[in-house]
Amino acid sequence: MNRSLVILLGALALGAAVFAGSYFISQRACLMTRSADDLSWLRDEFHLSDAEMARVRQLHEGYMPQCAKMCALLAAKRGEVQAALAGSTNITAEAQKKLTELGELRAQCQAQMLQHFITVSQAMPPEQGQRYLAEMKQLTLGSHEEIESRMAGSDHAGHEHGTN
Amino acid sequence: MKENMNPADTKFHEVLRAARPMPSLPPRFQENVWRRIEDAEASAKSGSWLDAFAALVLRPRFAYATVATLVLAGVLLGTYQGAQTAKQNEQARYVALVAPNPLR
C-alpha cells in the first residue's frame, strides 16, 4: 500500500482514539462527580435556594412514610385480588369487590401523591413551582393519559359496537 | 549538410534503409500512447496530493493542534452528555421515590 495512505489512515485511527478516549473519560468523570442526594434533581432543575431546598426536604421526608404505607396497602390489596381471581374462570362478586377496593385505594394514593406535588410546588418560587407541578403530572399521570388516549383511539378500530 | 553528401553516401543510405524495413504500427498506436501518458500523469498527480497531505499531518505543529482540538471536543461533548445522563438518572431516581410504579 502507498506509504502516504498508511500514514493518513494511522493518523485517522489515532485521532479517533484520542477523541473517543477523552469523550468517555470526561463522561464517566461527570457521572461520578454528581451528588448522591435523592433531591439533587430538584435543586439543579428548579434552581432552589438553600432555604427552599430545606423546606422541600422537610416535605419530602414527611411524605415518604405515608407513601411507603400506601404502597404496602396497595401490595396487600393486589394480593387479595389475585387470591380472589385464582382458580376462577369468571369474575366472582368477591373478585369484583376486591378490584373496586384496589381501584379506590390506587385513586387515594394518587390523590395523596398529587397533593404532595402541589405542596412541594408551593414551597418553590411560583414560576418554578408551576413547572415542577406540570412536569410531575406529566411524569406520573402522563402514562395513564397516553394509554387511555390510545385506547380511545383504537375504539373505532377494535371496539366496534353495533348501531343498528 | 545533406547537399554536401557524396552521391555514393546517398546511395549507401538508401541501401541501408531498404535493408531495415520499418514494421507497420499496430492499430490505434498513437491513441494508446497518449492514453498511457495521461494515465501516468493522473496517478502522479493523486500521489502527490496524498504525499502533500501526509507531510502536513506529520508536521509537529499541525499534529499538536489536531490532538488538542480532538481532546477539547471530546471533553466538551463527553461532559455535556455526562451531565444530561446524570440529570436523567437523578430525575428518574426522584420520580421512583415519590411516585413508585404501583402509584402511577
Mean pLDDT, 10 residues at a time, chain A of 164 residues: 86 96 95 83 91 94 91 90 84 88 91 93 94 90 67 53 40
Same domain, B94 and B70: yes
Side-chain-side CA neighbours of residue A140 (13 Å): 29
Same domain, B73 and B97: yes
Give residue A164's pLDDT: 39
Same domain, B49 and B69: no
Same domain, B81 and B51: no
Same domain, B39 and B66: no
To 10 degrees, the CA torsion angle through B8, B11, B15, B17?
Answer: 120
Is A58 near chain B, with CB under 8 Å?
no
Nearest neighbour of B74 by CB, restricted to A19, A71, A143: A19
Give residue A162's pLDDT: 41
Task: Among B58, B98, B101, pick the best mutation site for testing chain A contact (most A Cβ within 10 A).
Answer: B98
Give residue B4's pLDDT: 63
Nearest neighbour of A26 by CB, restricted to B66, B78, B95: B78
- A40-153 folds as Four Helix Bundle (Hemerythrin (Met), subunit A) (1.20.120)
pTM: 0.64
Same domain, B49 and B79: no
Instruction: Report which residue type is found at A131.
Output: R
> A112 near A66, Cβ under 8 Å?
yes
Residue B102 belongs to domain spanning: 60-104
Same domain, B54 and B67: no
Is residue B17 situated within a structural domain?
A: no
Residue spans of chain B under pLDDT 70? 1-5, 43-47, 102-104
Give residue B17's pLDDT: 79
Is B90 near chain A, with CB under 8 Å?
yes
| DSSP structural state of residue B22 | P
* ipTM for the whole complex: 0.75
Same domain, B64 and B103: yes
Please judge whether B95 and A2 are an interchain contact, meaning their C-beta atoms are less than 8 angstroms apart: no
Specify the number of domains making up chain B.
2
Is residue B2 situated within a structural domain?
A: no
Give residue B80's pLDDT: 95
